[in-house]
Amino acid sequence: MGNQITEIQDQYCSSYDKRKLCSFDIEYIDTPTKPLIHQAARYLFFTKGHGRMTVDSKSYEIGPHTFVAILPWEITEITAVDAPLEFFKIIYNSDFINNTIKFGYNTGNNFFNILSSVQGTPIVQCTEEEAAVILRVLNEIKSETGIESILDVPEERELSNVYVTNKLMELLIHFTRFSRKRECRNEKGDSIELDERGAIFKYIYSHLNQKQTLSELSSLFYMSESSISKYVMDVTGLTFSDLVNEMRIVKMMDLLMYTDMTLNELAELTGFVDASHVLKVFSARTGVTPKEYRKIYAGTNNLFKEREKSVSFEVFNYIYHNFQEDLKIQAVADKFGVTVVELNRILLFQAERNFEDFLNYLRVNKACELMLSTRMSITDIAIEVGYNTVKTFSRNFVKLKSMTPATFRKHIILQHGGESIPEGQSAV
């Protein structure tokens, strides 16, 4: 993969409201895409076009009525577009749905897991009748949740979350039944080695409550510890331990929003030692305590109100001129008298990014400027643009630029023909 790191997409279902169980959107693709790692599960239903896509290195034909189920930490890529593709996209919280099925609907106490239900058959080519069933459910979800990309936020209806949850489970049932009827059309020539390596991320994610070591993974996947470490770093830009912690934090965020479990209970589920360990790692990663996070994202959805429009430019201007400060989303929302959800919708309208993405976008771009125009160390640049740690800076830099800060500095300097840091000058 060279210096190009696979982009890890956000774990949230919605850009403006992190509490949403799912979001609906319509996408159009006319050129191949870069590889993406998905932290949140999703369904894709193609309505137009023809092409090919890979799911964890296996290649599949896609066209009208192709139904795709993508699990957390799977790697996908649209590798060919023979005719422009149009598809419906549902991003949903698979942990919530999985637990709802296991504890609310599983009257026979049978073991059920979304991962095992979908794994191995990620793509189904639906018949006309099956496609009509899927389109009906998708349109019902759309009418309930609105369309994400145009900030279509319908007035929340009574028992909306219950309705959406049932529709998501209906999609899962249909996908599982349809996939059992036929063999998935899988192109020949897949690489077994790549398939097995791609499964590493899913294995780690599905066993977060257990202590995981490189030694254990080495035995399971018949790879050396150093090979696994290198693969994880090449694909994600993270060390093995950082990747495990990132997955645990993502799962913790979901559980904080959708359950009232104690920190000790959450620690047991996500593989942390105890409540104090959760508090330390979560606070360092997010900048807020678990209690504060739960409070921020509690409550009901709000409509995009007229008063948001009157402060939208002020919000945008404030963040643009103060991104180097230690800005917190709740504090900024309070400053302008809006909720966190309203603040994110304002920024999506003004900057096409939510608060966290916009803040990181400004900081990383400023860091790029400093790396080109100064000889400041990467540590000093990280602090200068508003990050508390180099690790946080590097993680966000990799997410936006698909390479590390050090690689970027070296690459850009070489591109511009000979500028170099004097011998002995530290670049990190």
Distance of CA 184 to the CA centre of its chain: 26
Give the mean model confidence (pLDDT) for residues 400-409. Answer: 82
Q: CA-CA distance, 246 to 115, in Å (whole number)?
A: 19
Tokens of 76: 């996908």
Domain 358-415 - what CATH class? Answer: mainly alpha
Q: Please report, for the chain, the start and end positions of each structural domain, with discontinuous segments joined by +.
A: 7-181, 192-296, 306-352, 358-415
Domain 7-181 sits in CATH at 2.60.120.280
Model confidence over 217-263: pLDDT tens digits?
A: 887 778 888 888 888 888 877 888 888 888 888 888 877 877 777 88
Model confidence over 71-84: pLDDT tens digits?
A: 887 888 899 999 99
Model confidence over 139-171: pLDDT tens digits?
A: 999 988 888 777 766 677 778 888 888 898 889
- Output phi, psi for 92, to 5 deg: -140, 165
Q: CA-CA distance, 372 to 413, in Å (whole number)?
A: 7
Higher model confidence: residue 133 or residue 262?
Answer: 133
Beta bridge partners of 36: 7, 76
Give the mean model confidence (pLDDT) for residues 302-331. Answer: 71
Q: Do the bridges between strand 66-70 and strand 41-55 make them parallel or antiparallel, or are there none, so unpaired?
A: antiparallel
Looking at residue 46, its pLDDT comes to 96
Q: Which of 309-318, 339-348, 387-396 has the lowest mean pLDDT?
A: 309-318
Quickly name the fold that domain 192-296 has: Arc Repressor Mutant, subunit A (1.10.10)
pLDDT band, residue 132 (cuts 50/70/90): very high
Q: For the chain, give the mean pLDDT.
A: 78
Domains 7-181 and 358-415 share a fold: no
Q: CA-CA distance, 341 to 329, in Å (whole number)?
A: 10
Model confidence over 14-64: pLDDT tens digits?
A: 665 666 778 888 899 999 988 888 778 899 999 999 999 988 778 899 999
Give the predicted TM-score (pTM) of the model: 0.56
DSSP conformation class of 406? H
Looking at residue 6, its pLDDT comes to 61
Our separate counts of H helices and E strands in the chain read 18, 8
44 class by beta-carbon count within 10 Å (0-12 exposed, 13-18 middle, 19+ buried): buried
Q: CA-CA distance, 372 to 379, in Å (whole number)?
A: 15
Helix intervals (H) in 289-354: 290-296, 306-322, 329-335, 340-351
Tokens of 197: 């390596």
Helix intervals (H) in 18-127: 94-100, 114-118
